[in-house]
Amino acid sequence: MIQSRQSAVIILHIAAILLLFVLQFVLPDYHQLAMTRVMVLAIFAMGYNMLFGYTGLLSLGHAMFFAAGLYGAGLTAYYFGWSVPVAFVAGIGSGFVLSLVIGLVSLRTSGVAFMIVTMMFAQVAYLTTTYFTDYTRGEEGLVLPQAARSFDLLGVHFDLTSAVLRYNLSLVLLAATVAITLLIVRGPLGRALVAIRENEPRTVMLGYDTFRLKLMAVTLSGTISAMAGATYALLFAYIGAGFATIQYSIEALLFTLLGGAGTVLGPLVGTAAMFYLIDIASSYTVAYMLAVGIALVLLVLFFPKGILGTIRERWLPWLP
Partner 1 sequence: MTDKIIKPSSLISRRTTLKGVGAAAGAGLISATAPGFVRYAQAQTSAPIKLGLELHRTGIGASYGRWYERVANAAVKIINDEGGINGRPVQLIVEDDGTDPKRGAEVIEKFATQHKVDLVFGTLFSNVVVGAAPRAGELKMPYLVVSEGTHVSSGSLNRYCFQPGITDVRSQVTAMAPFMTKNLGKKVTMMFPDYAFGYDHRDNLPAAIKAQGGEVVEMIAVPPTETSFTRYLPRIPANTDVLYHVMVGPSVLTFVTELGEFYGSQHPAIFGFIDSIEAVDLKTPQLDFLEGSYFWEGNPRYAQKDQSQWDKLYRAAVGVDDTGASVHDPKDISTYAHMYGVWETLFVIKQAMQKAGYQGPQDKAKFIEALESFDKFEEGRDHPQGDKIFNGKNHQAYGHQNISKVESGRLNVVHRTAIEDGGPQTTADYTKMAL
Q: How far apart are CA 148 and CA 47, in angstroms?
A: 25
Burial grade of 185 (CB within 10 A; 0-12, 13-18, 19 or more): buried
Please identify, using beta-carbon distances, which residue of 27 and 101 lies nearer to partner 1. 27
Q: Is residue 280 involved in binding partner 1 (CB under 8 A)?
A: yes
CB 255 within 8 Å of CB 41: yes
Q: Which amino acid is at 306?
A: G
Please identify, using beta-carbon distances, which residue of 251 and 319 lies nearer to partner 1. 251
CB 248 within 8 Å of CB 264: no
Evaluated on CA atoms 170, 171, 172, 177, the torsion sign reads positive
Q: Is residue 283 involved in binding partner 1 (CB under 8 A)?
A: yes
Site string for partner 1, 232-251 (x = CB under 8 A): ----xxx-x-xx--------
Q: Is residue 31 involved in binding partner 1 (CB under 8 A)?
A: yes
Least Å from the CB of residue 69 to partner 1: 15
Selected from 4, 25, 155, 201, the binder of partner 1 by CB under 8 A is: 25
CB under 8 A, 24+ apart: contacts of 199-204: 200/110
Nearest by Cα to 177 from 13, 3, 4 = 13
Please identify, using beta-carbon distances, which residue of 70 and 192 lies nearer to partner 1. 70
Selected from 83, 115, 139, 296, the binder of partner 1 by CB under 8 A is: 139
CB 144 within 8 Å of CB 238: yes
Selected from 6, 109, 133, 199, the binder of partner 1 by CB under 8 A is: 133
Q: Is residue 130 involved in binding partner 1 (CB under 8 A)?
A: yes
Please identify, using beta-carbon distances, which residue of 25 and 315 lies nearer to partner 1. 25
Burial grade of 161 (CB within 10 A; 0-12, 13-18, 19 or more): exposed
Q: Which residues bind partner 1 (CB under 8 A)?
A: 24-34, 37, 127, 130, 133, 137-144, 149, 161, 163-164, 167, 236-238, 240, 242-243, 276, 279-280, 282-284, 286, 288-289
